[in-house]
Structures are given as C-alpha cells and as structure tokens.
Amino acid sequence: MAIRLDKVITQIRFVLRPPCRSLCFMANLFFLLISAAMGTMDGILPGQLLVDAQAVVVEIDAVAEDRQLINLPNLQFELAIKPTCAAAGRIESISVSAADTRQSYGVDDINEQSVVYAPLSIPSQQLGPVRIGDFCHTAVVNNVEDMEMTIRGALTAHLSLRCLNDEEPSITYVSQALDIVLRCNNVDDASIESPEDQESSAEPEPRL
C-alpha cells in the first residue's frame, strides 16, 4: 500500500472552558472515537496520535498585594489518547512526558482500547513559580465576581507513538498544551498576611 506523504493530517484540539470542563472533556473523547471510526487507513502516515487534555484547577488563597508569584502544588492532568498505526502496522508503545516526568505504556497497557487514558502527575518540585499579576490580591478579592484565571499552555506534554510496520519501526511525535485554571478562594475576612506569614511564604525566585 502506497503511503501518500503529501496528505495533510490535521489534529483538532479542543479548548476546555468553564463551566463545562468535565462535560466538554467527555464530549471530546466522543469526537476522538468518531474521528477514528470515520477515518480510513489509506494514505495516512505510519502513525497518528489524537490527544485531548483536561485543564487542572488549582485553588489558592488571597495573597498580599505586593506578591506577584506563587508556587504551584502537585498537578494531576488527565489525558485521553487515541493512537492509530497504519493498517499493516501494530502499536508497540506510547510515551508521555512533561517537565521532568515521563511514563510509558506498552502493549499490555494498551491492549485493544480505542482510547488510552493517561493520568500524568507532575510534582511541585518540577514546577516553577507562576506570575499572577493582580490576580487574587487581598485588596481586590472581594470586588471581583469572576475569580478565575486560566494559564494557557502552562506546560507542554510531549507524546510519541511507536508503530511496527512490516517489521520496520516508525515513531510519531505530537505535542499537547496543558492548561491550568487558578481559582481564588473569596474569603470575606481576607486580610494581608502577617509579617510572620510573609516570611514563611516568601515570594519565590522565578526560574528561567
């Protein structure tokens, strides 16, 4: 079977927006399945990866007005991956990495699943501080109705699919942006941190 290298494969990424994050995530999985069922293997590249990732929500408390950076906690992302090899090929493995975290899924993990669910845990030690500007400051926290801020592409997940076609291996690479939603806890009695609290939670140095 001749492979048409000039065929353009477009990957559609779905942006999850509140308040339908969970519903949109499930809808996106449905579209992954439909797109795989409708597609034919004639003329596609040796491997194809469709990926969808749910944004992670991080709740933070109001911070002092002069504080511009915050540290992130451990983050748990949920990825849905639809791997496809050419008709004559078979899936050997899928690798997912972000920051300094890497995990792999072999044949036994993938089996005959249409969609591979890949939880990705990123420890806080691998995350640099994020700049929040005026978001969630004690001086304005009670005056703003919508206390959410989305950081688009805060991290990037790198995925690879290894296929074996006629005993010849091929690897397909895909990148997926990972979003973080910061949610400010609107505390009625929010007050500036005491000097002791400020010293214990001193503003971290930004990483390059």
pLDDT higher than 70, residue 5: no
What is the mean predicted confidence (pLDDT) over 34-63? 73
Q: Which tokens hold the place of 76?
A: 């748990």
In-domain check, residue 151: yes
- Decide: 163 and 3 in contact? Cβ < 8 Å: no
Q: What percent of the chain has pLDDT over 90?
A: 41
pLDDT over threshold 90, residue 1: no
Instruction: Supply the pLDDT for residue 26.
Output: 55
Mean pLDDT of 37-56: 71
Query: Does residue 166 lie in a domain region?
Result: yes
Q: Please indicate, yes or no, if residue 2 is contained in any of the structural domains.
A: no
Report how many domains make up the chain.
Answer: 1
Whether the model clears a pTM of 0.95, i.e. scores above it, the answer is no
DSSP 8-class letter at 195: H
Looking at the domain assignment, is residue 160 inside a domain?
Answer: yes
Amino acid 118: pLDDT? 93
For residue 133, being part of any structural domain is answered with yes
Q: Give the closest residue to 178 by CA, choosing from 120, 100, 115, 102.
A: 120
98 located within any domain:
yes
For the cut 80, the answer to whether the pLDDT of residue 85 exceeds it is: yes
Residue 194's pLDDT band (boundaries 50, 70, 90)? Answer: very low
**Residue 7 resides in a domain:** no
| CA distances for 26 relative to 16, 67, 103, 116, 150, angstroms | 11, 37, 23, 13, 20
- pLDDT tens digits for range 131-148: 998 888 877 666 555 588
| Residue 194 resides in a domain | no
Domain that holds residue 150: 21-186
Asked whether residue 184 carries a pLDDT value surpassing 50, the answer given is yes
Residue 30, pLDDT above cutoff 60? no
Mean pLDDT on 153-158: 96
